């Protein structure tokens, strides 16, 4: 198919499709002994052909007109790539050999090429879509922060096989994009303290003698802890945020015979996450004073914003949880581990001294330990995981974001949770996830839908666009909450009308 003439004016768009959280990563080879080990990462659950059909479908919805496709963050999952180069031109430390390479540009470039190699259909489909005259924007999320590296971006453009003219219709946006002056599109991790990029304008830090992207706590947990626990699916919170009873049952059902030393794997991985997240949080950003304004202006240009909008949106980010080691240790269960270990050690040394004086058996130490158990259970149950509850943006954030960017609609990803609701005058949508998320280790109970947000003119012919939250399946789409693709009746609009009537 030949390349069409392109409209490179990103400020206007009649049709926009937004998808998020695809989490494309390398293909996991089948484990020779344990077939359930990272089964969700195997090629069996690749959706590349579905994505190809999706691109064809949204072109049909646009009836031959140009489509703007916004890939709204976490499209690639660099944290899950563990393959190492055969003859690396750089040093690879022991931790990288165990849990994946650090986020340096040459290493991130290798990981990106590995993802490209394992997903030829996906990149071919996107290439065809762009060459047909459509636009594509990559909005950086927390799991693909390494897209900030220019060489990584160039490798994607090369894989798409685009000429100089067609490259103008592809953009890489730091963390947000304003579509058609009516919709703010942002991944949403900037409002999650466990996944926030501390400085989206200057995301790089100098670590020793190398430049890296600063990774938030959530990424570090996936790399150094979850990557070593192959029966836990990082795309579904229920797979790793469980009660003590659920963990015990999970251990008996899946880990007792396959990974009996899982506690050791979890403990040292958690310690690395705790240390790394705290130390990384203290590092100063890599800034270039002479080009600071140029950088802000460039971010604004690509996002259809003003420099003032860039600065104000950057100030809306939450404070990173990594600045509080106690909070992090609670999320990693390290506080409970330290409490148990300290209690055991104190009790043991105390009874060793008692034995020297009274010559009693050390078995008596189990009595205070038994009395300690109810207090430990009460403490453990009193602590609720915060990594989930903090993910959804507050109404104040939505309202302020709308005021800053002068839009009435905000679209997020990140939480993997479908949403279409009104907060005051702001319409809020979340396009969910396409990631291989499953509620069970056997990967038989999928979580989520292949959903997207479709922005198109009202069926009545007005210039204002309406937003539809759609599910794509078997070559067609239908409304997640009752609306259809070309919008006969919009359930959300009815709710808004009812609210105004009240």
Burial of 215 (0-12, 13-18, 19+ CB in 10 A): buried
pLDDT band, residue 499 (cuts 50/70/90): very low
Q: What's the whole-model pTM score?
A: 0.89
Distance from C-alpha of 197 to C-alpha of 37, rounded to nearest angstrom:
31
CA atoms within 13 A of residue 176's CA, in its CB half-sphere: 33
Residues 239 and 119 in one domain: no
Question: Cα(157)–Cα(176) distance, rounded to whole angstroms?
Answer: 20
Per-residue pLDDT of 351-405, as tens digits, reads 888 888 887 787 888 888 888 888 887 777 777 766 655 667 788 999 999 999 9
In a domain, 350, yes or no: yes
Residues 380, 458: one domain? Answer: no
In a domain, 1, yes or no: no
Given a cut of 80, whether residue 234 has pLDDT beyond it is yes
Q: What pLDDT is stored for residue 200 in this prediction?
A: 93
pLDDT of residue 299: 96
The answer to the question of residue 6 being in a domain is no
- Res 244: pLDDT: 73
pLDDT of residue 471: 94
Is 9 inside a domain boundary?
A: no
Q: What letters, b where the CB count within 10 A reaches 16 and e where it falls short, cover 11-39?
A: eebebbbbbbbbbbbbbbeeeeeeeebbb
pLDDT in tens, 108-130: 999 999 999 999 999 999 999 99
- Clarify whether residues 61 and 175 are in a common domain: yes
* Mean pLDDT in residue range 97-107: 95
Distances 153 to 83, 146, 174, 322, 366 between C-alpha atoms, Å: 20, 9, 12, 28, 59
Same domain for 26 and 156: yes
pLDDT tens, residue by residue, 416-456: 989 999 988 899 999 999 999 988 888 888 888 899 999 99
H helical segments located in 406-454:
none
Question: What pLDDT sits at residue 70?
Answer: 97
- Examine the domain organization and report whether 188 and 261 are in the same domain: no
Residues 207 and 303 both lie in one domain:
yes
Candidate from 237-246, 386-395, 488-497 with smallest mean pLDDT? 488-497
What's the pLDDT tens digit per position in 38-70? 999 999 999 999 999 999 999 999 988 999 999
H runs (alpha helix) in 189-261? 217-224, 244-250
Q: Are residues 274 and 340 in the same domain?
A: yes
**Host H or E run for residue 337:** helix 334-358
User: How many other C-beta atoms lie within 10 A of the C-beta of residue 79?
Assistant: 29
Residues 28 and 71 in one domain: yes
* pLDDT band (50, 70, 90) for residue 413: very high
Give the C-alpha separation, 361 to 61, whole Å.
79
Domain that includes residue 144, residue range: 15-214+288-318+391-495
At 237 the pLDDT is 75
Domain of residue 431, CATH code: 3.60.21.10
């Amino acid at each position: 198919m030949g390349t069409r003439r392109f409209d490179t004016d990103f400020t206007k768009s009649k049709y926009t499709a937004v998808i998020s959280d695809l989490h494309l990563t390398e293909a996991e080879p089948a484990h020779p002994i344990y077939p359930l080990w990272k089964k969700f990462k195997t090629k069996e659950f690749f959706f590349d052909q579905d994505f190809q059909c999706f691109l064809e479908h949204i072109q049909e919805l646009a009836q031959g007109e140009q489509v703007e496709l916004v890939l709204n963050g976490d499209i690639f999952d660099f944290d899950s790539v563990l393959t190492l180069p055969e003859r690396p031109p750089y040093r690879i430390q022991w931790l990288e050999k165990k849990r994946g390479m650090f986020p340096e540009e040459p290493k991130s470039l290798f990981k990106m090429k590995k993802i490209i190699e394992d997903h030829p259909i996906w990149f071919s489909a996107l290439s065809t879509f762009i060459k047909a005259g459509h636009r594509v924007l990559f909005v950086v999320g927390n799991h693909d922060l390494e897209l900030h590296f220019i060489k990584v971006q160039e490798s994607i453009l090369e894989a798409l096989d685009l000429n100089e003219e067609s490259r103008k219709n592809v953009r890489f946006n730091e963390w947000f994009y304003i579509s058609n002056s009516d919709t703010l599109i942002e991944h949403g991790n900037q409002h999650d303290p466990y996944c926030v990029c501390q400085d989206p304008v200057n995301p790089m830090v100098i670590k020793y003698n190398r430049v890296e992207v600063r990774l938030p706590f959530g990424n570090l947990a996936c790399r150094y802890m979850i990557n070593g626990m192959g029966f836990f699916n990082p795309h579904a919170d229920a797979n790793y945020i469980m009660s003590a009873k659920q963990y015990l049952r999970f251990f008996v059902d899946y880990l007792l015979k396959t990974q009996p030393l899982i506690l050791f794997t979890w403990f040292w991985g958690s310690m690395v996450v705790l240390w790394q997240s705290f130390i990384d949080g203290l590092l100063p950003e890599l800034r270039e004073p002479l080009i600071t304004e140029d950088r802000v202006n460039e971010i604004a240009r690509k996002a259809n914003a003003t420099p003032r909008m860039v600065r104000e949106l950057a100030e809306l980010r939450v404070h990173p949880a990594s600045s509080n080691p106690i909070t992090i240790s609670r999320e990693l269960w390290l506080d409970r581990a330290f409490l148990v270990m300290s209690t055991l050690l104190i009790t043991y040394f105390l009874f060793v001294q008692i034995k020297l004086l009274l010559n009693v058996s050390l078995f008596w130490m189990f009595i205070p330990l038994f009395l300690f158990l109810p207090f430990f259970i009460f403490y453990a149950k009193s602590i609720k995981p915060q990594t989930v509850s903090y993910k959804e943006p507050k109404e104040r954030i939505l309202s302020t974001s709308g005021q800053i960017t002068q839009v009435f609609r905000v679209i997020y990803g990140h939480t993997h949770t479908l949403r279409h609701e009104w907060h005051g005058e702001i319409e809020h949508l979340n396009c969910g996830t396409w990631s291989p998320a499953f509620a069970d280790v056997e990967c038989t109970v999928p979580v989520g839908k292949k959903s997207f947000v479709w922005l198109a003119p009202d069926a009545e012919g007005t210039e204002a666009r309406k937003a539809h939250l759609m599910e794509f399946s078997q070559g067609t789409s239908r409304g997640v909450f009752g609306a259809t693709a070309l919008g006969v009746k919009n359930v959300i609009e009815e709710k808004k009308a009812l609210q105004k009537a009240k």
